[in-house]
Structure 1
């Protein structure tokens, strides 16, 4: 059996109640992460692998998505901190201030709830984890 070793997620579609509130929230977070909005219209926007639409969009079929947890990669702790502050300023709700987490040494993250209650995380895995990954890749 041969396995495809690409990215696990090709894209993710969130269907939201208020597309303008979501555009404001995600636009602020994505700007901090250095990810540009790739395209948008009245009923949707997208950036990289994330597609967000209103329920009345042709892409949504009138159904809101349930609560999701999205973890977005950050290049360092400062980016996690800025992500958290920008998200709060853009209408997000605190779901865990920036700080170390118990998942593994060096796991630094912040959590926000978006306007629809999705748990949006920014995570930096720390230098030790990054060095370990580089060693594995170099073999």
Structure 2
């Protein structure tokens, strides 16, 4: 395992109602993004820094996490489009079709609701936003 120092978020843990529905949904999305499922068991799975478990998992302590917004980076607009269609096919619900958003020029994103109602986004920031230059973004 490789550690990345200095990142704002180290990992996220979602506790979901139906682990198998979430496994199908996130598995389809991560396949499109080229992110492998790192592992799992009957009551949990993980990919990169996202850990997903059922409420009866020892790590969940019996409590669902509630509604969250998670945004995943896509490599290009086609990746956002593929993410959206894979998510719909895997049981997600439309929460905003792929398209440009007002957050900054070149912000191309889609939004899906996962099986637990979490708002899941794929975003491509455009070629200009891929540089090392700092930019100010307003939401």
The verdict on a shared fold, with TM-score over 0.5 as the criterion, is: yes
The alpha-carbon deviation at position 37 of structure 1 amounts to 0.3
- Tell me whether 1:99 sits opposite 2:99 in the alignment: yes
Partner of 1:71: 71
Partner of 2:127: 127
Partner of 2:51: 51
Gaps of 5+ in 2: 135-139
Partner of 2:112: 112
After TM superposition, the structure 1 = structure 2 runs for residues 8-23 of structure 1, keeping only pairs within 5 Å, are 8-23=8-23
Gaps of 5+ in 1: none
The alpha-carbon deviation at position 134 of structure 1 amounts to 3.1
Query: Could you tell which deviates more after superposition, 5-14 or 107-116?
Result: 5-14
SS of 2:132 mapped into structure 1: helix
Deviations 1:73-92 (A, max 9, x none): 01100000000000000000
**TM-score using structure 2 length:** 0.91
More helix by share: 1
Deviations 1:95-132 (A, max 9, x none): 000000000000000000000000000000001112xx
SS of 1:134 mapped into structure 2: coil
SS of 1:28 mapped into structure 2: helix
**Aligned mates of 1:42, 1:129 — CA distance in 2:** 40
**Aligned mates of 2:66, 2:132 — CA distance in 1:** 36
**Aligned mates of 1:15, 1:135 — CA distance in 2:** 36
SS of 1:86 mapped into structure 2: helix
**TM-score using structure 1 length:** 0.91
Extract structure 1 runs of 4+ deviating beyond 6 A: none
Provide the aligned length of Structure 1 versus Structure 2: 130
Partner of 1:34: 34
Two-structure CA RMSD over aligned residues (Å): 1.0
